[in-house]
Chain A
């Protein structure tokens, strides 16, 4: 047993000593790999119902959304309520692009990466536009402005029509109009279905890698320092505005990427989908998974997307359950009066206490000798 532990520790140290990957991230990647293999295996064995298969890409979208929102909410400590707005921008710009070039660029392997760049960058640009004026604001103001921004995007999208419909001739010679493009409140119609689970999963891995790398760098330290004590961070020479906007733009960029996946998966969607409720749903995932925990966001995204589908008959209670969950989590996590309860419920503490007990027993067995 001890031998295995030694081998394990040696391996871990070798991998992590270069500083490229931290031990915590290694676990995250391992978890992602296990999930990926599990999905592929159960799919090939025919264990996935149609309902579950149709959830694969959306779950990946939500993982990307949650991980990217966690960067703003968990690490930067600012509440942004407009994440659905960035998702919408990514979805609309990229699908319109794909529809427009569908006939010129026929290869998905060229078209989809371009769509990703377009969706991500346009969401990022909007992140910059909205970030420049409002990130000087703090806390509640930022929350309300990002919320307002999400609503503006939704309202504007409802008022835009980009008709890219084509007339095709069917085999029988009759002319048929294929409705394509953005039709105001009726939404976007008939984008090419370019998203696949494999692509979505690769994007999840890239998102997780980039965001956890960023968090474990000097930028991540600056961002967390700003959250912990803004005045001290500033006195240490950290440019607050720059780092806030950087975080915000990266977060928006990945929401845009999720939007590209989303748009090329559903192919038909209405602006009203991207409302305030969707932003809140992403927030619930982040809060449930633990603010500042990337692995937590991944797990929570999977659970909160798959569970409601399996428990369809209780769908009326879903949002109610979310709201109660939000309140309870906040009360348990943050209420000063509940610190005792928090300690009792903490998995980490439970683990440590068990470890301590085991150590004590070992020490007793070894006749008081310790290895410390």
Chain B
């Protein structure tokens, strides 16, 4: 059932010198940024960042440390307001929206340094993600625990268990999130992000601190998420094996600027990328 991580997707050129996978060609892109940039006190942290992400594409954002990758995620989720440029999510601009509004529009993310609600249980963490998908639970029903409260809670609970079982974590539902082992915490963050029903999922170093077998499992899981929920996934990762295996389009950042874009094969052979990672040949 699992797709082989080594399957090479076919890429076709798309207007504005980006690429999307062939199967997404007939659908509008889920995310498009145009000349996005932000300055921190005169320093161009990110400059002229233009990408295009297909509806069900798995894309990678790589680059040396300090290249501005997490800053891009913070820009996409409106944690930082961009100094220049525009972000179009599913055809709508996210300018001026709050972080929460952008999430409702369809971007969910995980964090490089895990940010769970560590005093809450695993299932409660997921249910926080489901918050905006529980219209049945109004303020009135919340304070009375009547008027459809039980039904709404039960449905949300079932939904949360479903999501958790995707990662085989249903047995941990009532455990304290803060007491989970590291790998499970990373998975829980992904489940929580998925719970918000995103159109695109941003994963910030999902494999950090994982051993090779865990990383392999993660790769399969990422593909499975894409195939099950039909969403786009964008990830920041230093594990080149993971990136080259599952990403269909890769964007390389260095010093806040895009230095290369393309398929894993293009990137692997790009002299600029090699230079950015290994330094100039002497």
Contact = CB atoms under 8 A, between A and B. Distances in A.
A225 B127 CA distance: 10
Contacts of B128: 221-222, 225, 233, 236, 238
Interface string B151-167: 01110100000000000
Nearest to B154: A19
A235 B108 contact: yes
Contact of A233 (B117, B142, B149): B117
A232 B111 contact: yes
A18 interface: yes
B206 to A, nearest CB: 15
Contact of A221 (B116, B120, B196): B120
Nearest to A222: B131
A interface residue count range (under 10 / 10 to 19 / 20 to 34 / 35 or more): 20 to 34
Contact of B142 (A219, A229, A232, A234): A219
B100 A237 contact: yes
B190 to A, nearest CB: 13
Contacts of B99: 231, 234-235
Contacts of B141: 217
A240 B101 CA distance: 11
Interface string B169-193: 0000000000000000000000011
A221 B127 contact: yes
A267 interface: no
A224 B141 CA distance: 19
A18 B150 contact: yes
Contacts of A237: 100, 103-104, 129, 131-132, 196
Instruction: State the majority secondary structure of interface residues on A.
Output: helix
Contacts of B109: 235
Contacts of B142: 213-214, 217-220
Contacts of B108: 235-236
A221 B192 contact: no
Interface residues on B, range: 35 or more
A221 B193 CA distance: 16
Nearest to B153: A19
Given A213-B143, A239-B100, A224 B131 contact: no
Contacts of B196: 236-237
A231 B146 contact: no
A119 B141 CA distance: 24
A278 interface: no
Contact of A235 (B77, B125, B127): B77
Contact of A218 (B100, B104, B117, B134): B134
A205 to B, nearest CB: 13
A224 B128 CA distance: 10
A235 B195 CA distance: 12
A352 interface: no
Interface of A: 18-21, 210, 213-214, 216-222, 224-225, 228-229, 231-240, 246
